[in-house]
Amino acid sequence: MSEETKTPPPPEGGAQPAAPKPAAPAPAAPPKPAAPAKPAGPVPLPWDSPLVAKYKRQFGSGLEAQSYLGQNYFTVDSSLIPNFLLLLRDDEGFDYCVDITAVHYPKREKQFDLVWILYSHGKNERIRVKTQIAETDTPPSSVAIWPTANWLEREVFDMFGIRFEGHPDMKRILLPDGWKGYPLRKDYGIIQQDTEWVQINLGIESGQ
Amino acid sequence: MTDPTTTLSRNPLDLDESRTFLDANELVINMGPQHPATHGVLRVILKLDGEKVLGTECVIGYLHRGVEKIAENRTYTMFNPYVDRMDYVAAVSNALGYCEAVEKLLNVEAPPRARYIRSILTELNRIASHQLWLGTHALDIGAMTPLFYTFRDREEILKIFEKYCGARLTTHAFRIGGCQYETYDGFEKDVLNFLQFVAPKIDEYEELLTTNRIWVERTKNIGVISAKDCIALGVTGPVLRASGVKWDLRKAQPYAAYKDFDFEIPIGQNGDTYDRYIVRMAEMRQSLRIIRQAVDAIPEGPIMAKVPKVIKPAVGEIYHSIEAPKGELGYFIVSDGSTQPYRVRVRPPSFVNLQALDLMVRGALVADVIAVIGTLDIVLGEVDR
C-alpha cells in the first residue's frame, strides 16, 4: 500500500466539477472529526495463525500475511499464483471463490493488484489473496480451481484488460466486443469515448 | 459429475461456425434481449436439438452503466444513491451493504436503533423482492393469478417505504453511519399491521401453487443443481439453500441487528425449481418472524453514529457482504485516503448466479429455460451494473 499512487482523475467535465464541491467544506470540517480519527487510524497488522506459519515456511519471502480492520489477507508473489490458490482450496477448505477483481495503480511499475476473495464454508472464514502484476503479464486462470472464476475473470479482462492464461473463453462480457479501451483503468477517459460515440452515431459535436 | 474441475470447466457453448443452420440437427436460436421471460434485457443463445437444450450462452451487458467507474468519480456519500439502481427491486439491501461497508472502512458502527430500523426495512424489502419474484416466475410458467396477488400485497410494503423516506423503489433509505430519518409516527403500527395482513396472504399464494399439479409438473426436477456445483460456481442465496446448504450470511457472519433475532434458515433437498420456490416461501415467513422481533425490541436512541461531515477513510481496503434477497452481495472498497473511493467493486449475486444457468438447463427443454431463468431470480440491473 505504501507505493499507492493517488491519481488525480483525468481533468474532464461531467463528474469532475461536482467532486471538488463536497471537498470544499473539508478544511472547515476536519478539525473535530478527523482529529480523533487520525491517531486511531487503523493500520495493517501482521496476521499470525497456524495457516500463515505453514505457508510462510513453504514459500518464504514470496508471501506476506496481514490483517486490516480484522480482515485477513495474503500478499503473494505472482509466481505462486495458481499453486497457492489450489493449496488454499484443497488443503485449507477455501471452497468458495467469492470474487476476483483488480485495482489499477498507474504510477506503479507493476500496475495492477489482482485480488481473490475466498471463503471457506467449513471454517466460516474469509480471506483475500492479493498479487501485483504488470500490464503485460498474463496471470494463470483459476477456472479449473473454481468454475465461478469464468465470468469473474472475463469481467476483469473487460474492465482492466488483464488476460488470463488458460481461460476457456477470454472475451468481453459486459461491454460490446468492439469496445475500445478498458474502462476501469485510471487513465481511461470517459469523455473522449462519449464524444467520439455521439459524433459517429448521432452526428452531433458533443453530448455534453 | 462431482469434481468441479471436470464438471464445470466445460465451456458454455462453442458455437460451431462451420455449420449452417438448417441442414443439421442442431439449431441455434436467440432468446431475448427483448423477451418477456428474461426479466429485463438478458439475451440467451440456445443451441437446440429439437426441443432439447444442448448448450446456452448468456449475452449480458445491455444495462451496463459503469457503476464501479461512477463510484470512482463521486464522493462516498454521493455514490450512496447509485447502489439502489443495481438491484432495483431490493434497493434497501444494496444500500445496507454499501453503507455498512463504508462504515467498516471508517471503523464506525451504526447505533443500535439504526441497526434495528435497517433490519426491519431490509426484511420488508426481502419480502417485496420475493413477492415480485413469485409473481413474475409464476407468470412465466403460465400461472397468471399469483402476479395480481403478489403485486397487490407488495404495494403495502412500498407504502411503508414511501411513508418512511418518500420513495417506493429506489429508496436511498440509509446513510453512512445510520439512517437519515427517524421512523414516522405509527411506523411500528403500520409494520405490525402489515405482518398481520401478509401472513395469510403467503398461505394464499401457497394454496394457489404448492399442490397445483401444473406447477408441480413444471418445477419438480427442473433445473437441478447439486450443492457441490453450487459452491463451485459461487452460487449463493436461496438457490444454494435449496440445494441443501444451510448457509445464510445473516447467521454465518451477522451484520445489522441479525444476531439478536431468532430465525431459521429454510433449506431444500433436491436443488430443483420446486425446492427453490419452497425455500423462498419459507424465507418470507422467517422474515415476518424477524420483523416482529425487531419491532418488539427496537431500542430508543440516536439513529446516526458520529461520522465526519466529509467522509475520508484512511488508506486501506475492506470487503463487506450481506445476504441480499438474491444471495451474497459484497462490496470491496479501496480507499486512498481521499474523499472519493479509489475503487469500488460490487460482488453481485445475480451475476454470479446467472452463470449456473448453463449447467442447470443442459438436457432440459426450451420451456424449462424459462422456468430456470425465473427461479434464479436475477435482476439485470444488478447483473450488468
**Which residues of chain B have a CB within 8 Å of the CB of A45?**
none
- Rounded-to-integer distance, Cα B175 and Cα A161, Å: 34
In the stretch 127-186 of chain B, residues with CB closer than 8 A to chain A read: none
Q: What is the pLDDT of residues B188-224, one digit of tens each?
A: 899 999 999 999 999 989 888 888 888 998 888 888 8
pLDDT of residue B282: 93
Using N-to-C axis directions, what is the helix angle for B112-141 and B366-376, rounded to 10°? Answer: 170
Smallest Cα distance from B52 to chain A, Å: 24
Contact residues on chain B for A173, CB-CB shorter than 8 A: 60-61
Q: How confident is the model at residue B36 (pLDDT cuts 50, 70, 90)?
A: confident
pLDDT number for residue A39: 46
Q: pLDDT per residue over B252-299, tens digit each?
A: 888 888 988 989 999 998 889 999 999 999 999 999 999 999 999 989
Contact A15 B73 (CB under 8 A): yes
**Helix/strand/coil for A183:** coil
CA distance A84 to chain B (A): 16
Candidates 3.90.190.10, 3.30.450.20, 3.30.1360.180, 1.10.645.10; correct CATH number of B67-384?
1.10.645.10
Q: How far is CA A70 from CA A95, A133, B91, B107, B319, in A?
A: 21, 26, 28, 10, 11
Interface with chain A: mutation pick from B77, B225, B236, B309, highest number of A CBs within 10 Å: B309
State the pairing for strand pair B327-335/B343-347: antiparallel
The answer to whether the Cβ–Cβ distance between A148 and B234 falls below 8 Å is yes
The three grid cell numbers given for residue A155, joined into one nine-digit string: 469481467
- Mean pLDDT over B29-48 rounds to 81
From B8, B66, B75, residue closest to A22, measured CB to CB = B75
pLDDT tens, residue by residue, A168-185: 888 889 888 878 888 888
Contact between A41 and B314 using a beta-carbon 8 Å cutoff: yes
Q: What is the DSSP string of B176-237?
A: TTEESSPPPTTHHHHHHHHHHHHHHHHHHHHHHHTT-HHHHHHHTTSS---HHHHHHTT--T
Average pLDDT over residues A61-84: 85
Residue A97, helix vs strand vs coil = strand
Q: What Å distances lie between residue A6 and A41, A42, A105, A107, B336, CA to CA?
A: 18, 19, 8, 9, 6
Domain spans in chain B, listed from the N-terminal domain onward: 4-59, 67-384
* More confident position, A60 or B101: B101
Contact B310 A19 (CB under 8 A): no
How many whole angstroms separate alpha carbon B212 and alpha carbon A50?
54
Partner residue facing A26 (CB), from B4, B310, B337: B310
Amino acid at site B211: T
Query: Taking the CB of residue B69, how many other CB atoms lie within 10 A of it?
Result: 18
Give yes or no for residue A14 having a pLDDT over 50: no
- Residue pair A179/B40 in contact (Cβ under 8 Å)? The answer is no
Backbone angles phi, psi at B72, to 5 degrees: -70, -15
pLDDT for residue B325: 92
Q: How do A96-104 and A71-76 pair as beta strands?
A: unpaired
Tens of pLDDT, residues A26-43 = 444 444 444 444 445 677
Which range, of A48-62, B319-333, B346-360, averages the lowest pLDDT? A48-62
DSSP character string of B256-272:
TTGGG--------SS-S
Pairing of strands A63-68, A45-46: antiparallel
B383 pLDDT above the threshold of 70: yes
Q: Which three cell numbers stand for residue B361?
A: 438447463
Q: What is the pTM assigned to this prediction?
A: 0.82
What per-residue confidence (pLDDT) applies to B52?
85
Q: Which of A76, A114, A35 is nearest to B334 (CA)?
A: A114
- If you average pLDDT over residues B132-144, what whole number do you get? 89
What does residue B77 show for φ and ψ, rounded to 5 degrees?
-70, -40
Chain A nearest-CA residue for B246: A121
**Dist CA B297 CA B300 (whole Å):** 9
Q: What is the DSSP string of B35-60?
A: -GGGSSS-EEEEEEETTEEEEEEEE-
Band (B24; pLDDT cuts 50, 70, 90)? low
Q: Does the distance separating the beta carbons of A4 and B69 come in below 8 Å? A: no
Q: Which residues of A touch B384 (CB under 8 A)?
A: 174
Please, which residues 343-362 of chain B have a Cβ atom closer than 8 Å to chain A?
A: 343, 345, 347, 351-352, 355
Instruction: Give the pLDDT score at B61.
Output: 87
Task: List residues bridging with B316 in a β-sheet.
Answer: B335
**Shortest Cα distance from A150 to chain B (angstroms)?**
9
CA distance B314 to chain A (A): 6
Cα separation, A16 vs A14, whole angstroms: 6
Contact A121 B245 (CB under 8 A): yes
Across the interface, whether the CB atoms of A190 and B337 are under 8 A apart is answered no
Grid cell digits, residue B364: 432440459
Query: Which chain A residues are Cβ-neighbours of B64 within 8 angstroms?
Result: 174-175
Burial of residue A70 (CB within 10 Å: 0-12, 13-18, 19+) is exposed
Give the pLDDT score at A193: 74
- pLDDT score of A40: 54
The cell numbers describing A42, all together, are 487503523
Q: What is the dihedral of CA A87, A88, A92, A96, to 10 degrees?
A: -130
CB atoms within 10 A of CB A10: 14
pLDDT band at B8 (very low <50, low <70, confident <90, very high): very low
Q: Which of B2, B76, B106, B342 to mutate to test the interface with A (most CBs of A within 10 A)?
A: B342
Closest CA to A155 of A132, A127, A184: A184
Contact A97 B234 (CB under 8 A): yes
Residue A75 is classified by DSSP as E
Query: Residue B28 and residue B14: Cα distance in Å, rounded?
Result: 11
Q: Which residues contact A114 (CB under 8 A, 6 or more apart)?
A: A78, A100, A101, A102, A130, A131, A132, A133, A139, A156, A162
Give B 64-93 residues with CB within 8 A of chain A: 64, 66, 68-70, 72-75, 77-78
